[in-house]
Structure 1
Amino acid sequence: MEKMQILCYEIIAHGPPGPGLYCNATWDGAMCWDYTPAGSPAIKPCAEYIPSFKPSEFAIRECLPDGTWKPNFEETNSSTVGWTNYTRCLSTNHKPQLPIDKHNHLPRIQLMSEIGYGISLASLIVAVTIMIASKRLHCKSNVLHINLFCAFILRASVSFLKSLIFVDDIGLEKDIIRNPGGTVVFKNDGLHWECKLIVSIFMYAVATSIMWILMEGLYLHMLVYKTLFTERHGTRLYVLFGWFSSLTYVIPWILVRMFKENELCWNRQKADGYFWIIKAPMHLSILVNFLFFINIVRVLCVKSKISRHVRNDTQHLRKTAKFVLVLIPLFGVVYIAFNAYPIGAFNMEADFIYLYCEMFYNSFQGFVLALLFCFLNEEVQNEIKKWCFKRKLNTFNTRSILLSSWRKPSTRLSRDMTRDTHITEGTHHIYGKCTDTCKLNKKCCEHAQCLHKDRATANGRTLALQSENVNSLKDGEV
């Protein structure tokens, strides 16, 4: 079905066969319908690639005189897609399934993807800001986490840009032609290098994000088996390999598309042959990372068995289980299940469930990584608590300084006023002598002079008394 859909997009890109009013060529989710003259029906044999269809019967669509397909009366905006009568194609053992259901699911999947990428982008930016701002978090593992977050930020940003400026996932506004019936046709003339550049950057972002998951797994694997290598060489080799290794197969894919399959904006391909230039290294990196995950889990299980022989420690088993659960998104183990699913082998409902699960995981994967390796990390939480405590302390100090600077002038004025009152009320200078009511003590000059005079007179009196005592003693001896 995917190959027929790709061929249908090529028919859409070629445009109408000649002048006149036509209903647009469209893919209704099951079959491709070519440009049809206005006011005439379109009849095609039922598709052989759908198991529930009878190839001997025919499907019918009706092109209205205004150049639009006859809509489904249950839908309000289906004039550009139209409604196909598949009643005769379905056997008696299968209930009729309208292909219009696909056009209901795809906008929901797109909306879910945009919401997921938006949440992931915001959380990853906050996580990178926290880890860069704190110097204590600049360890080797966190350096790799920062690069992993940056790779997923690039992926989410380019995905947002692509969904925002691309029209119907075909090309930019300058690359298409809008027909009166509301259809969109790709222009065949021109280089269209802008949309091709955006698609190439998107392919690089997806490949780099998967490659950085491999770098995280390789770092943990080397940390378990070759600790000295990690301590000596650091993270420079991981950073270089994570950002530049994906170019070794993205650039050949660009060259092949330029010279072999230079059609549309490179977001569609006739066959999967050329796309395996990018797909094969990505699948290989996911497989290698899965082997790293199994090996690390094996080492953890061996250590947990040894610890159980030494002591019955259930807390250690819980920590091991938590560590394994954390490693699942870090190693991209879920990609194994997505790559193993055969698209088109089952019914359409199973394919839709697969699309919902895959797009949900791809869009929210950045948020899960930021949550597990930044927001729930104890070191990061401690740094955030310290930063909040310092900020509260700084605000408290600034408030106390402001309050003290506002209160100091009043206290100084009160002290000056009390000093003046003490001088006027508490000091009495009579005939140059200081009375006992003076409260200024040494600050009053006259009080100090009085004290000096009183001490001199007191010393003279004591000397006179001593001399008298000496004289009386002499007279007694005599």
Structure 2
Amino acid sequence: MNDAERIARDQAACDAANNSTAPPDTGLYCEGTYDTWQCWPHTPANSTAYARCPEFVPGFSTELFAHKECTANGTWWQHPETGQPWSNYTTCIAPEDDYVSDIIAVYEAGYTISLVALILSLGILTYFKSLRCARITVHINLFASFALNNALWLAWYGLVVRSADTLAASPPWCRALNATLQYALLTNYTWMLCEGLYLHTVLVSAFVSERRLVRALLVAGWMLPVAPAIINAARRAAAEETLCWADDGPPRPELAVIVCVAVILNLTFLCNIVRVLCTKLRAGGGAGVARPSATALHALRATCLLAPLLGLQYILTPFRPPRTASWWLVYEYVSALTTSLQGLCVAVLYCFCNGEVLAQLRRRWRVLTFRPRANSTTNTTVSFVRSAAAGAGEDKV
């Protein structure tokens, strides 16, 4: 059942319940209403109505109660910022359930660290013109996709997840943020696929135009996620989903397909690259056999390290345990760490541990710290000339 069906069902049930219930005989009262989350009964003026927290909102505990205040003049209390009747759901997160906010804090810390590392990497790779090549161009776009994803996740947690009012109102901007976030998440995987495709093409296909290859990868990396993201947003908009389109359900098919295809193809490329390199290494550099370069071996090591990390999240997702499971909390923390620190791993493997980048940084450091010393031979010659001139002056006197 989608949100629109749930709201229609609950709205009808709430109207029927309130119509069959006599208003309080205490005089002024607030008329029963439905706020798309809960049904609130007729409530006497200057009192508070209570209802159990909804179970479909992520992070809410059904053992707790939300409340809605009826003012002394018989109207529901209105939020000063929106001017609309407001129900207080901020009490739906149990104080003892600090692990929920702790997990969010882990995500925010990981995304922040990754974002800083990615920005530094982008600055380094774009500053040194000597590093400009097809491989670095692919790296730069990969870093940009991760940086965009991390920045959007930080905005999502700060503006939406920590605001029950925003979740309840589900304004257009938060749904647009969710749609953009899904696109940015998909670009991470398409650009990892581009990394694997580039490395595979360069090592396996000797005769290929890198310029044309990079152009094709630029189009694929940024454009392939557009269609799935639009389909996902259109389906959710047609279903009139609320909660800013946030849910803890299984991955959407239109989003999961491109991710699974990217991961499977990357692993396929990796296996073939390992086969080709092993073949060349076993050949022992015989006549007519090109041995793999140090750059290729470094790229291979980076790909080997990144492949399991990038596939880990979607391998575990189908087996996500229920909240009642004993290892649910462990799963959430592991997922938070591996997901939020992917950008940091990308920056470390492809930039901070890159030999060419390190050589450029060392060269720049030597230039900045170099202090030219006075030439001792020149100083001696100048001193001798000055002394001779002074002596000649004395002779004339």
TM-score by length of 2: 0.69
SS in 2 for 1:14: coil
Partner amino acid, structure 1, of 2:194? M
Alignment match, 1:187: 169
CA distance in 1, matches of 2:266, 2:321: 27
Evaluate the alpha carbon distance shift between residue 36 and residue 143 of structure 1 in structure 2; reply closer, same or farther with a 3 A threshold. closer
Correspondence list, 1:306-455, <5 A: 306-307=283-284, 325-331=301-307, 334-336=310-312, 338-340=314-316, 341-344=318-321, 348-393=325-370, 396-397=371-372, 426-427=395-396
1:109 aligns with 2:103: yes
Question: Which residues of structure 1 form unaligned runs of 5+?
Answer: 39-66, 70-77, 84-99, 177-185, 311-315, 402-406, 429-478
Which residue is equivalent to 1:210?
Answer: 189
Q: Secondary structure at the match of 2:245?
A: coil
Asked if the contact 1:121/1:157 (under 8 Å) is kept, the reply is yes
**RMSD of aligned C-alpha atoms?**
4.2
Aligned twin of 1:438: none
Distance 1:286 1:427, change over 3 A: closer
Q: How many residues end up aligned between the 2 structures?
A: 331
Give the Cα separation in 2 of the matches to 1:345 and 1:24: 24
Q: Among 263, 272, 275, which residue is 1:295 paired with? A: 272
* CA distance 1:158–1:329, change in 2 (3 Å): farther
Residue deviations 1:325-354, cap 9 Å, x none?
421343355525642551237962323222
2:139 counterpart of 1:145: yes
CA distance in 2, matches of 1:130, 1:319: 19
* Partner Cα separation in structure 1 for residue 314 and residue 368 of structure 2: 46
Q: Distance between the aligned counterparts of 1:150 and 1:319, measured in 2?
A: 22
1:36 Cα offset (Å): 7.7
Measured after TM superposition, the shift of residue 212 of structure 1 is 0.7
> SS of the counterpart of 1:349?
coil
Does 2:53 match 1:26? yes
Q: Which digits, 9 at most, give the CA deviation of each residue in 1:48-79, with x for residues without a partner? A: xxxxxxxxxxxxxxxxxxx999xxxxxxxx96
- Whichever residue aligns with residue 17 of structure 1, its letter is W
Partners in 1 of 2:148 and 2:66 — Cα distance?
42
- The aligned counterpart of 1:196 is 175
From 128, 138, 162, the counterpart of 2:122:
128
1:415: Cα distance to partner? 6.5
Do the aligned partners of 1:338 and 1:358 also contact (CA within 8 Å) in 2? no
Task: Note the C-alpha offset of 1:319.
Answer: 11
What residue is the counterpart of 1:472 in the other structure? none
Asked if 2 retains the 8 angstrom alpha-carbon contact of 1:25 and 1:34, the reply is: yes
The answer (yes or no) to whether the contact 2:199–2:299 under 8 Å persists in 1 is: no
Alpha-carbon spacing, 1:217–1:31, altered in 2? closer, same or farther (3 Å) = same
Alignment of structure 1 residues 55-94 onto 2, 5 Å: 80-81=92-93
Shift of 1:217: 0.9
**CA displacement 1:433-462 (0-9 Å, x = unmatched):** xxxxxxxxxxxxxxxxxxxxxxxxxxxxxx
Question: Could you tell me the percent identity over the aligned residues?
Answer: 22
Q: 1:68 to 1:13 in 2, by over 3 A?
A: closer
2:37 aligned with 1:14, yes or no? yes
Q: Which amino acid aligns with 1:331?
A: A
How far residue 158 of structure 1 moved from its aligned partner, in angstroms, is: 0.8
**Could you report, residue by residue, the CA deviation over 1:347-394 in whole angstroms, capped at 9, with x for unpaired residues?**
62323222222211111111111111111111111101111111123x
Equivalent residues of 1:12, 1:25 under 8 A apart: no
8 A Cα contact 2:143 2:347, kept in partner:
yes
Q: Which amino acid aligns with 1:348?
A: A
Question: After the TM superposition, which of the residue ranges 337-346 and 214-223 deviates more from structure 2?
Answer: 337-346
CA distance in 2, matches of 1:79, 1:252: 35
Match of 1:268 among 236, 244, 247: 247
Provide the rounded CA distance (Å) in 2 between the counterparts of 1:400 and 1:194.
Answer: 64
Distance 1:250 1:36 in 2: 34
| Counterpart Cα distance in 2 of 1:37 and 1:386 | 64
TM-score, L = length of structure 1: 0.59
For the structure 1 residues 297 and 245, does the alpha-carbon distance in structure 2 shift closer, same or farther, using more than 3 Å as the test? same
- Cα distance, 1:81–1:364 mapped onto 2, change above 3 Å: closer
The structure with the largest alpha-carbon Rg is 1
- Contact kept? 1:117, 1:160, Cα under 8 Å: yes
Superimposed CA distance per residue, residues 110-140 of structure 1 (whole angstroms, 9 cap, x where no aligned partner): 1111111111111111111111111111111
Alignment of 1:228-307 (within 5 A): 228-231=207-210, 233-268=212-247, 275-307=252-284
Amino acid at match of 1:370: A
C-alpha distance 13-306 of structure 1, shift in aligned 2 (>3 A)? farther
- Deviating more after overlay: 281-290 vs 238-247: 281-290
2-structure distance, mates of 1:153, 1:364: 11
Per the alignment, do residues 165 and 353 of structure 1 end up closer, same or farther by CA in structure 2, a change over 3 Å counting?
Answer: same
Residues of 2 paired with 1:305 and 1:201: CA distance? 47
Query: Would the alpha carbon gap of residues 225 and 238 (structure 1) be closer, same or farther in structure 2, given more than 3 Å must change?
Result: same
Looking at both structures, which has the greater relative contact order when contacts are Cα pairs under 8 Å and sequence separation is at least 6? 2
* Residue pair 1:217, 1:289 contacting (<8 A) in 2 also: yes
Distance 1:333 1:68 in 2: 40
Contact 1:13–1:187 (CA under 8 A) maintained in structure 2? no
Q: Does 1:164 align with 2:194?
A: no
CA distance in 2, matches of 1:27, 1:257: 20
